[in-house]
Amino acid sequence: MARELLMDGLKYKMLLGYKEGRVSLAKLSKMLGMSLSEVIDLLSSFGLQSPISYDKYLQGMATARKAIR
């Protein structure tokens, strides 16, 4: 139980860093160990806006896949 509270507190601090502009979306995703789409969903559940829409995210992923091939 204490470990879960500690982890929730760390996530909260990371989200605050994002909200205050000290942490990028990509860095937040990496720190949380979540995909970008999961982080975007998490941000919206806390009422924080993502700098990109989900559609733009999907377009970027499609472009990245094409570039890798």
- The per-residue pLDDT for range 2-32, each reduced to its tens digit, is 888 888 888 888 888 888 888 888 888 899 9
Token pair of 38 as six digits: 């999961």
Helix (H, G, I), strand (E, B) or coil at 58: helix
pLDDT of the residue at 44:
84
- The per-residue pLDDT for range 40-51, each reduced to its tens digit, is 888 888 888 766
To the question of pTM greater than 0.75 for the whole model, the response is: no
- 3-class secondary structure per residue, 3-31: HHHHHHHHHHHHHHHHHCCCCCHHHHHHH
